[in-house]
Structure 1
């Protein structure tokens, strides 16, 4: 067991004190990555998602496995309920957050990018769109659109009738469709835009940068009141480009390198070898329409190691 009370899994696989895991522990470990993904998509915070998994585990240990017909569905239901409770608390916390709030970035395994639907759902752009939903709408959207759960299963998770869940799902789907990126962007297209962006920053070529930025591009910086960041969104290529080329002021101490963050190509800025900023992008029509720069050090621990997401 870990210090947090959850079962541990090492590189050789799951085990429990020299013997085989009991059925309850085995079921939890088997679905842990799925449960983390559900919680993370609902919360946009890996730290809060881990806390939700801890609460899920504690409740799961009090259940008689013999009475559970489908452990996966049961565990997803517990996780969803705990995430909903946490989401309401997180909403109050965001009200006092200093500057723009951005989701906690994850350094993801390469296979996440291969699952286009999963990669789209955990992208920084999509997580920000889901921030505009109510907690229940977000839960229903995630469970239905991402994990393809049946309406009656979702109804049990959110304590609504299946008919009500259908209405919520339709409303959430329409809301997201009006705000999500206008088309599926391939990893190649994203990588190409980022490479052009990276070259422009490295050379200080303002015109090359303007060529890859949409005229109405929006820059969001999250320093959490700990690191310097733009206190409000900055809109317009003519305002964003000089801000971005200003990264050159860090000189030789800085390195800007590509990485897979939240299932998509992104850039990580290191200063003197330490991670300073994670830069994710939103692309529409081949141009960068959104730049999301996370500097809050409390949100950067999950880009030191890969996170496995599943659905």
Structure 2
């Protein structure tokens, strides 16, 4: 048996070439099929769904010789959907992808996304807000892939999320886009925190919080989010005394801005309860879990993942309480 792997790493974009690496591969399969047919053993190609669709189109004779197609499902994937790049459609003008179909779930291999950005960078005569938006979208795509468990190489895509968040941040500073700067600072801090790089994350959260307060005053959802994120960072480091007032401020803001029954209020209640639980302050944590569970059941339903999480937290807490 001959096993062929790695085809998903072949580049999809031409970027000035007559044929892309993928197209050359399909051409070899199509025009050497007679020679391949002389092998006395099986040839097994491992391909993604997107590659299979292109193979059917570009190497139809080779495809017609198949003896079988076996499908294996994995949450990790190397392609992104057209919907994920819809926000940067403006950046695809004058590229080979400018007229794409937004319903294509297998639009672009993730490796080619970087090459596309590099191509746009080279074509951009001046650095402007559109280029910053490109960097932001690319960073968000990597971040979302990490959160959804789709990254095939977690560390590599985490590093790329940081790289493009930083690029967006530096350009937005240059262009004095202050509100966008605060968002990028917060996102970069989150990515550093996910790597355990707490000393690098902390000053970024603090800068983002100060900037949002300056731009938006204290009564804004972004301020509440950053307070919550900074509190979570302190909690991860065991700095409970510094985390508690920030969680309390975030909870008060969400209640003020969203009302007492909003799911974000439930999340905030759960976060504060977890902090108290970590300190052994069970009697203070229990009523917060109860409030959070009541909101989740009413607003999200009894089987929603958030509801299940809060319920499990409450059960775990009650197992630790002394008998009444």
For normalisation by structure 1, the TM-score amounts to 0.28
For normalisation by structure 2, the TM-score amounts to 0.27
The structure whose RCO (Cα within 8 Å, separation 6+) is larger is: 1
Structure having the higher helix fraction is 2
